[in-house]
Amino acid sequence: MTAFRTRRFQSGDEFELNTLFNQITRKGSKRPPRPLDQLRWLWHHAPGGPTDSWVVETEENTGWRIIGHHALTPIRFTFGDEDWLCGKTMNTFVLPAFRDKFLYLRFEQRCLREADARFDATYSIAPGTARLRTAFGYENIGNWIRLERGLQPLHLICRGVAALAGRCSYRARVGLLRAFAAISAAPKRSHSIELVEYTAGEAASSKFFADFWAEARREAGMAPRRDAADLDWRFWKHPGFEGTTLTYSWPEGGRAYFILDNTASHSAVYSIVDFFITPANPERLDQVLDALFVWCAHRGALAVNFFTTPRGLPPQLLEVFLRKMRPSPLQRFEPAKELPRRFTPRGRGRGNGALADWNATEILMIL
């Protein structure tokens, strides 16, 4: 009979856990493995504190080895003037050979009971997780949709050629995308709105973000906190992140920003990994999106994409995105990513039983 035990994650588990993560998520893929420093960054440097993490081990002749894992990474949220701490499911797995031998759901339930005193809510972003976690009190608040705006007439053909090359070599795929980007850059043209461009280091110390969330949180509803420290951890100092931050401030008041991911794998398709506009004015969003598309086209981007949930944006802003962008044609070939969440006894005890939906935007964190 196979022997199992569960325990809290320890610092010495980092290498073994990261190796297993790469075996599962990169199997059959040409993508490079996740470096160990990314796991350490996610586990130990969040503004909300360290990740709560548990492992499942089985006993073999050589000793105990990890065959399963569950973690909740603290993500700071705000709800008006209130500060909330939510736990995001991270790197949850049981190795295939043990899935019919170990009762994983009972394991996760114990983890949640331990974590409930710390978090106001827990949530997940992954395919096929909502039904699995219904027994724990999770409710799916929407499936992610990927919206896209093509910036070049042949962008789908170029991306298809690169994808075919990527079946043989990740490096070949990236090289082709970069080549397409280099030859497709649109001539520079002006726009009535000139976005201010920041590198990661500049954005973290900019005046724009010093007080942005203190102003924006009042009308943001339930939303991931966007103080400079939160954005620094989620994006700007995240190991491996290569992106650009674009901002705009209207002379009469109101501000908006976009954070774009244009790492090597996205070198010709820029991803909006976070954005916010205050106040939530659809006409202004229309303006800054047009300015964003001009900026990206000038730099050779073939397309721009954006992940959201239909219930995760104010209706007037979602309408603008749906008008300016279209559902990605690639989405039909991908499993639907769900967004189940549950409120802990601590969260329910705050007297907000019917909270609004949120748009969890930390797309990089699901990789």
Which residue, among 108, 35, 45, 100, has the nearest Cα to 71 in the 3D structure?
A: 108
Distances (CA, A) of 281 to 93, 167, 196, 284, 363: 41, 43, 20, 5, 24
Give the model's pLDDT for residue 363. Answer: 42
Question: Which residues sit opposite 249 in a β-bridge?
Answer: 255
Confidence at residue 338, expressed as pLDDT on a 0 to 100 scale:
87
The pLDDT value recorded for residue 324 is 95
How far apart CA 340 and CA 129 sit, in angstroms, is 7
Q: Which domains does the chain have, with CATH numbers?
A: 4-143 (3.40.630.30), 146-334 (3.40.630)
Q: Are 152 and 302 in contact (CB under 8 A)?
A: yes
Provide the whole-model pTM: 0.86
Q: What is the pLDDT along the chain (367 residues), one digit of tens a residue?
A: 678 899 999 989 999 999 999 988 877 666 788 899 999 999 999 999 999 999 999 988 888 999 999 999 999 999 889 999 999 999 999 898 888 888 888 899 999 999 999 999 999 888 887 888 888 899 888 888 889 898 765 555 455 544 554 555 555 555 555 555 554 555 555 668 999 999 999 999 999 999 999 999 998 888 899 999 999 999 999 988 888 999 999 999 999 999 998 765 556 788 899 999 999 999 999 999 999 999 998 888 888 989 888 888 888 999 999 999 988 877 777 778 888 889 999 998 886 555 556 655 544 444 3
Predicted confidence at residue 154, as pLDDT, reads 53
Residue 267 confidence (pLDDT): 60
Integer distance in angstroms from the first to the last C-alpha of the chain?
35
205-to-59, 217, 229, 240 alpha-carbon distances in Å:
49, 20, 10, 20
Sign of the C-alpha dihedral computed for residues 262, 266, 268 and 274 taken in this order: negative
